[in-house]
Structure 1
Amino acid sequence: MLESRTRLVAAAYLVLRRGDEVLLQLRQGTGYRDGHWALLAGHVERDESVLDAAVREAAEEAGVTVTVEDLEPLTTVHRFEVDGPPIEQRVDFFFAAHTWSGEPGVREPHRTADMRWFSLDELPEPVVPHELEVLRALATGKVPAVLAIRMDDPEEHY
């Protein structure tokens, strides 16, 4: 009998907010969605909370200091495949921060070609698809507590 349980891989995402603008970085050299604009994000490491991961990624990728108290929970995204391999699925924790210290800038040039502020109403193309769904919801002011997205059919949302 095949194992029916899945392994969830957790990641933390940070939406730095400056009024109606968000900070995005252009991915390069990562092997995943290179050439796409993306939020500050990364996998949760061993012995680390999702909150700590969001704080760490802000420092590593943009050189800014965000505290756990600065983090505002936005949504959780569950990414999965129907009839896909049951071994691994994704759970993404999205946070926003309106305050931080330091000036955001590219800190990992081997992974980031550019970093800029964009209005939620004028996002660049392309944006990593599941991140785009969260940003679109944020623009409307109607961000669901949980969003499930099929990786094999990104237009299918729950």
Structure 2
Amino acid sequence: MPERYRSIIDVHVILPRGDEILLLERQGTGYCDGMLHLPSGHLDEGEPIPHGAAREAREEVGVTIDPADLSLVAVVHHRQNPDLARVGMFFLAEKWSGEPVVAEPDKAGKLVWADPRVLPWNTIPYPAEGIQAWVSGDRFALHGWPTA
């Protein structure tokens, strides 16, 4: 009997400040360096999804978020390539403690506050799709899948 399909779960955190959200410029990772992304990462084995999102925000931008304060605002089924798909869970954190900083300077160059309705040109398309789904209220989006 074939093994059941399994997917990588990504967690993304939207940190708003006024009419803007926080993005990080990737650097030194080999994946989309020079482009912008939300604080995000992979879910660890045995970790509840909101806890993973809070952990990634702490690791990447140094803020502390109670997982109970995260609201799931969008899900994106992202096809990275023909052999790899992932599920992105996008959380809104309207409450956190600490001031955002580049907490992993080996992976991020700078922080950028941006209007989520008009994202910078160099925002990675996958997180941009999740941000757009949140802004539009769609809550679910497909990204990278054939349309026909």
TM over 0.5: yes
Amino acid at match of 2:122: P
Are 1:6 and 2:5 an aligned pair? yes
SS of the residue aligned with 1:132?
helix
The Cα shift of 1:80 comes to 2.6
Alpha-carbon distance change, 106 to 144 in structure 1, aligned in 2, over 3 angstroms: same
The answer on whether the counterparts of 2:80 and 2:86 sit within 8 Å (CA) in structure 1 is: no
Residue-by-residue CA offset, 1:63-105 (whole Å, 9 max, x unaligned): 00011121011111111378x23xx420111101111000001
Q: Give unmatched runs, 5+ long, in structure 2.
A: none
Within the candidate set 137, 140, 145, 1:146 is matched to 140
Alignment correspondent of 2:22: 23
- Asked if residue 108 in structure 1 is aligned to residue 104 in structure 2, the reply is yes
Q: 1:132 Cα shift?
A: 1.0
- What is the aligned residue count? 148
Matches of residues 5-154 of structure 1 in structure 2 within 5 Å?
A: 5-80=4-79, 84-85=82-83, 88-139=84-135, 142-150=136-144
CA contact (8 A) 1:134 1:143 kept: no
TM-score by length of 2: 0.89
Percent of residue pairs bearing the same amino acid type: 36
Q: Deviations over 1:117-154 (max 9, x none)?
A: 11224422210101112223334xx2323212225x6x
CA RMSD in angstroms comes to: 2.3
- In structure 1, the gaps of 5 or more residues are none
On the 8 A contact 2:129/2:141 being kept in 1, the answer is no
Q: CA deviation at 1:6?
A: 3.2
Comparing 38-47 with 125-134, greater Cα deviation is found at 125-134
Report the Cα distance in structure 1 between the residues aligned to 2:100 and 2:142, rounded to whole angstroms. Answer: 30
CA distance in structure 2 between the aligned counterparts of 1:80 and 1:133, rounded to whole angstroms: 12
